Amino acid sequence: MNAQTRMEDMVSAREKLVVIGNGMAGCRAVEEILERDGDRYDITIFGAEPRVNYNRIMLSPVLAGEKTFDEIVINSAEWYAENDIELVSGDPVSHIDRTAKTVLSQSGRVEPYDKLLIATGSDPFIVPIPGNDLAGVITFRDLDDVDKMLAAAEKGGDAVVIGGGLLGLEAAHGLSLRGMKVTVVHLMPTLMERQLDEAAGYLLRQELEKRGQTILTGANTKVIHGMEGHVAGIELEDGTRLKADIVVMAAGIKPATGLAKSAGLECERGIVVDDHMVTSDPDILAVGECVQHRGACYGLVAPLWEMCRSLADHLTDAPTGYAGSVTSTKLKVSGIDLFSAGDFSGGDDCEDIVMRDAARGVYKRVVLKDNKLIGAVLYGDTADGNWYFDLLKKEEDVSDIREGLIFGQAFASGGALADPNAAVAALSDDAEICGCNGVSKGKVVQCINDGAHSLDAVRSQCKASASCGSCTGLVESLLSLTLGGEVESGPASTCKCTSFTHDDVRRLIVEKQLKEIPQVMQELHWTTPDGCSSCRPALNYYLLCAWPGEYEDDQKSRFVNERLHANIQKDGTYSVVPRMWGGVTSPKELRAIADVVEKYDARMVKVTGGQRLDIFGIRKEDLPAVWADLNAAGMVSGHAYGKSLRTVKTCVGSEWCRFGTQDSTGLGIKIEQMTWGSWMPHKFKIAVSGCPRNCAEATIKDFGVVCVDSGYELHVGGNGGIKVRATDLLCKVETEEEAMEHCAAFIQLYREDAHYLERTAPWLERKGLDWIKAQMFDDPERVGRLARRFRYSQQFMQDDPWARRAAGERADLHRHLATVRPMETEYA
């Protein structure tokens, strides 16, 4: 018997498990079964969507632009193949024949089963009002819905979200970040009334309104109006009319029971199951949002994971049983800390403990009954959410810690847990760490002990903190507790003052509309009062880049060379480098330089590698006068000291050189005049060579242009310093105008994405040339948008009296900028 025959016999000997639903519950149940007995079942999964399994609770970050689809995939195509699972995607099951024990798909495929698992999830509730079937009325349940919202958001306009629950607010947040004017219409008087009390709902509403959303509570939608078959607006019961280019229905969900009902299974609100997730047919099980267990239906993810574990135990002959779930909720809107768990309705036999801190925007409320915690609502400070949730689930008597309960775990423990790691250590092994993926403390610790010695490793192996990320701090504490000093580092934080990375800081500055350095430090919980020499210059740059024209450059947050517009030398004097456009000078400029050298007793004048003259030996007290004299001759700073454009090196090109193919000198001057004064993450050098002989060394610059007979080759990411790096070819264009447009676009992409003090070479290597090309070229309008944002920011160049551009040169620029509409919306 050969190996193939033996394999076929093994497959035929396995029981056939068919799963209806390729979503989070269905695939998680399969994962649990494989973990217990990987050879027990021959598995086929039918999915309605034409894609692999992904994390639906992360659709909100995809809508908001914080994640891509690839980043929320749970099980890749390789996972199905590696586990010998057949995935039938884009072909939903339409009929179950319980007598023949087969299922029929929409395409006509018939699949037999020994055991059948229904995981059809839920359907969105469509408010039964006129106009709910118009084009532009969208639900928020899957990736196709997100794609529809993104397509609508690209056109801008007005969005109305019907429903102020979790899904509705997350949809509103994403559409708002995408540039739409958003109104939330909610029937009840309090947002998220199932999870929040009135006080917390008020704070949440106040924060959302600060972000530009309009919130209408106690508002009932009467009709959706259309024009030519597409939604145009809505009308409320009180007669209020709201313009709408899209309407998002997020008014709730209902279990998807249609398939089960047609098969004759017992259904009430959901598919009725027992403690082992078995339906009224012993060979058919159900799990997830479609089921009803002990009279309850669950729409949150944590109960689904508990159901899946019980189901897997039953199907692998180790039955345990599911007894129901206590749920907790967190809102996935960046910058809003909100936690809710249990029953906070209160009553005569309950006791409320409340703490308010208006200055910090903090509200905490715990509800006690018979000396046990039965409910908690936290807004603004959710650090103790997991501790409260653990007390609630275990129904522990809190009499001994009653006085300090509202102040959190550390205080309630008499200060013994002032160390946040110690607070995590005090949690029991079955305490939930990651609610999104149902991962307990014990499972995280086991994962770490099995070799996951970094945050990324934990995420990949047990999925803790791999979804919304709100439990990242807890996982990091467990890493520290378990491994001591052996924790492998992930992305470096911005500095010692914060745990946020550069990418986090840049993202949150935009998301939270932070426009001052103190505001950033307050909102992002800086651990020092005023920052340090590493983070202040970075924050200053990130704010300048994010809010051109709104944020005022903070000179105190610049390095000394940038403050003084000169390079300090080892003897304490300074060197001054006036700009020479494209390396071209004139008798007037040379006379001005000679006069400055003699007048201020400069000890050396040197030609630089960037085709300029560097004046050495200037005393600090003479710098204002030196610049005044150079300005009088029309000369401005060459920014030889700055994290900015340094030089544009050129050769003489076609005007003089017999090998020249294009006017490299003229193009270099135009590019330098376009890019002068632009602050960047690090120094930035450009070169334009008139032919492939490359005399200007364009292929070791941050941006290089090599002129050829048919146009211009554009190169990026070069470095001629300690670590020499040749450029990569970005693209080829035909005209000077295209070369300048692509230069501006590349610079703006670098400005908006790179970390402060990161040159283009390491940035390109970190992100990848394919990523940069995708950002610039996947959308044919992207280069133009990036270039417009760059030109818009150039209107607000620092006009320092020591280093300003001559009036005539600025006039040329302003005539050009007068045709550019400010692109405020493109910064969102």
CATH, residue 599: 3.90.480.10
Predicted pLDDT of residue 417: 44
Which tens digits make up the pLDDT trace of 585-602?
889 999 999 999 999 999
Task: Find the mean pLDDT for residues 696-715.
Answer: 95
Q: Is residue 172 part of a domain?
A: yes
Whether the Cβ atoms of residue 424 and residue 477 lie closer than 8 Å to each other: yes
Q: What is the mean pLDDT of residues 406-425?
A: 66
pLDDT value of position 316 = 95
Distances (CA, A) of 303 to 24, 243, 397: 12, 39, 24
Between 154 and 474, where is the model more confident?
A: 154
The verdict on residue 695 lying in a domain is: yes
C-beta of residue 432 within 8 angstroms of C-beta of residue 339: no
Residue 194 and residue 300 in one domain: no
pLDDT tens digit sequence for 434-488: 877 778 888 899 888 887 787 777 877 787 877 666 677 788 888 888 887 556 5
Q: What is the mean pLDDT of residues 329-352?
A: 80
- Would 115 be classed as within a structural domain? yes
Q: Please indicate, yes or no, if residue 393 is contained in any of the structural domains.
A: no
User: Residues 74, 213: one domain?
Assistant: no
pLDDT at residue 527 tops 70: no
Domain-terminating residue out of 558, 582, 608: 558
Task: Give the β-pairing of 362-369 and 351-357.
Answer: antiparallel
Note the pLDDT of residue 423: 65
- Span of 10-19, 188-197, 611-620, 713-722 with lowest mean pLDDT: 10-19
Q: What is the mean pLDDT of residues 350-366?
A: 83
Q: Note whether 146 and 49 are within 8 A (CB).
A: no
- Number of domains present in the structure of the chain: 5
If you average pLDDT over each of 396-405, 469-478, 763-772, 790-799, which comes out highest?
763-772
* pTM of the complete model: 0.57
Residues 737 and 814 in one domain: yes
In a domain, 323, yes or no: no
The verdict on 27 and 147 lying in the same domain is no
- Asked whether residue 38 falls in the same domain as residue 113, the answer is yes
| Residue 650, domain member (yes or no) | yes
Q: Specify the pLDDT at position 3.
A: 46
Structural domain contains residue 637: no
With beta carbons less than 8 A apart as the criterion, state whether 245 and 158 touch: yes
The CA R_g of the chain, rounded to the nearest whole Å, is 32
Q: Is the pLDDT of residue 137 over 50?
A: yes
Of all residues in the chain, the percent with pLDDT exceeding 70 is 90
User: For residue range 629-649, what is the model confidence (pLDDT) as tens digits?
Assistant: 998 888 888 888 889 999 999
Whether pLDDT at 805 is above 50:
no
Strands 432-434 and 372-379: unpaired
Q: Which position has the token pair 């300029």? A: 612
Cβ partners under 8 Å of residue 21, min gap 6: 45, 46, 47, 48, 117, 118, 119, 120, 121, 288, 290
Q: Where are the alpha helices (DSSP H) in 605-721?
A: 623-632, 664-675
Label residue 345 by pLDDT band (50, 70, 90).
confident
DSSP 725: B
DSSP H helical ranges for 65-211:
69-72, 77-82, 143-154, 166-177, 198-210
Say which range, 123-132, 457-466, 571-580, has the weakest mean pLDDT.
457-466
pLDDT attached to residue 455 = 78
CB 548 within 8 A of CB 577: no
> Is 323 exposed, middle or buried, given 0-12, 13-18 or 19+ CB atoms closer than 10 A?
exposed
For the cut 90, the answer to whether the pLDDT of residue 214 exceeds it is yes
pLDDT reading at 799 higher than 60: no
- The residue among 500, 508, 499, 495 whose CA lies nearest residue 543 is 508
Residue 463 within a domain: no
Contacts of residue 249, Cβ cutoff 8 Å, sequence gap at least 6: 124, 125, 126, 127, 132, 137, 138, 139, 140, 162, 163
Q: pLDDT-based confidence at 198, cuts 50/70/90?
A: confident
Q: How many CB atoms lie within 10 A of CB 239?
A: 7
Distance separating alpha carbons of residues 453 and 483, to the nearest angstrom: 8
Residue 236 has pLDDT above 80, yes or no: yes
750 versus 363: the higher-pLDDT residue is 750
Q: What is the pLDDT of residue 486?
A: 59
Q: What is the mean pLDDT of residues 614-639?
A: 90
Residue 810 has pLDDT above 60, yes or no: no
Predicted confidence (pLDDT) per residue in 276-324, tens digit: 999 999 999 999 999 999 999 998 888 899 999 999 999 999 999 999 9
Tell me the C-alpha to C-alpha distance, in Å, between residue 480 and each of 369, 406, 421, 464, 738. Answer: 36, 27, 8, 15, 52
One-letter amino acid for residue 812 of the chain: D
Q: Does residue 272 share a domain with residue 194?
A: no
Rounded distance, CA 77 to CA 70, Å?
A: 12
Shared domain for 514 and 553, answered yes or no, is: yes
Average model confidence (pLDDT) across the chain: 86
Question: What is the predicted pLDDT for the residue at 123?
Answer: 94
Pick from 640, 642, 672, 666: nearest CA to 652 = 666
| Residues 313, 319 contacting (CB under 8 angstroms) | yes
Domain span at residue 44 reads 3-122+255-315
Residues 617, 673: one domain?
no
CA dist list (Å): 308 to 34, 268, 321, 436, 708: 12, 21, 10, 14, 63
Cα(689)–Cα(673) distance, integer angstroms: 17
pLDDT value at 105 more than 80: yes
Please identify which residue in the block is written with the tokens 């008597």: 397
User: Encoding tokens for residue 697?
Assistant: 């060394």
Amino acid type, 51: R
CB 715 within 8 A of CB 699: yes
CA dihedral (420, 425, 428, 431) in degrees, to 10, reads 50
What is the pLDDT, as a whole number, of residue 778? Answer: 92
Lowest mean pLDDT among 368-377, 423-432, 603-612, 801-810: 801-810
608 pLDDT band (50/70/90 cuts)?
A: confident
In this predicted structure, the answer to whether residue 825 has a pLDDT above a threshold of 50 is no
Query: Are 13 and 117 contained in the same domain?
Result: yes
Q: Classify 195 as helix, strand or coil.
A: coil
Q: What is the structure's pLDDT at 338?
A: 87
Q: Where does the pLDDT of residue 491 fall: very low under 50, low under 70, confident under 90, or very high at 90 and above?
A: low
Distance CA 274, CA 334 (A): 38
d(C-alpha 289, C-alpha 499), whole Å: 36
Is 570 or 625 the better-scoring residue by pLDDT? 625
**Which of 533, 558, 583 corresponds to the end of one domain?**
558
In this structure, are strands 338-342 and 362-369 parallel, antiparallel, or unpaired? Answer: unpaired
Indicate if the pLDDT at residue 533 is higher than 90. no
User: Quick one: average pLDDT of 665-690?
Assistant: 92
Indicate whether 677 pLDDT > 60: yes
Q: Over the stretch 32-50, which tens digit does the pLDDT of each residue have? A: 999 999 999 999 999 999 9
- Which residues, including other chains, have CB under 8 Å from residue 805's CB and lie 6 or more apart? 636, 676, 677, 797, 813
Q: Which CATH number fits the domain that encloses residue 669?
A: 3.30.413.10
Position 817 pLDDT exceeds 50? no
| 353-358 long-range Cβ contacts below 8 angstroms, 24+ apart | 353/405, 353/406, 354/199, 354/406, 355/406, 355/407, 356/199, 357/381
Final residue in a domain of this structure, among 202, 230, 251 = 251
Question: Around Cβ 55, how many Cβ atoms within 10 Å?
Answer: 22
H helix or E strand, kind and range, residue 253: strand 253-255
**Residue 334 has what pLDDT?**
63
**Is the domain of 619 the same as that of 592?**
yes
pLDDT of residue 680: 92
Three-point CA angle 193, 196, 200, nearest 5°: 120
Q: Give the angle subtended at the CA of 493 by the CAs of 491 and 497, to the nearest 5°.
A: 170
Note whether 58 and 197 are same-domain residues: no
Q: Among 18-32, 141-155, 464-478, where is mean pLDDT lowest?
A: 464-478
Higher pLDDT: 6 or 175? It is 175
pLDDT digits (tens, 9 = 90+) for 252-265: 899 999 999 999 99
| Residue 766 to residue 186: CA distance in whole angstroms | 44
CATH of the domain at 72: 3.50.50.60
Q: Is the pLDDT of residue 118 over 80?
A: yes
Question: Would you state the pLDDT for residue 485?
Answer: 59
Q: Are 811 and 704 in a shared domain? A: yes
Which range is most confident: 11-15, 190-194, 240-244, 431-435? 240-244
The pLDDT of 246-275, averaged and rounded, is 96
pLDDT band at 714; cut points 50, 70, 90 = very high
**Dihedral of the CA atoms 539, 827, 763, 552 (nearest 10)?**
-30
Total length of the chain:
828
**What are the CB-based long-range contacts (under 8 Å, 24+) for 264-268?**
264/98, 267/292, 268/292
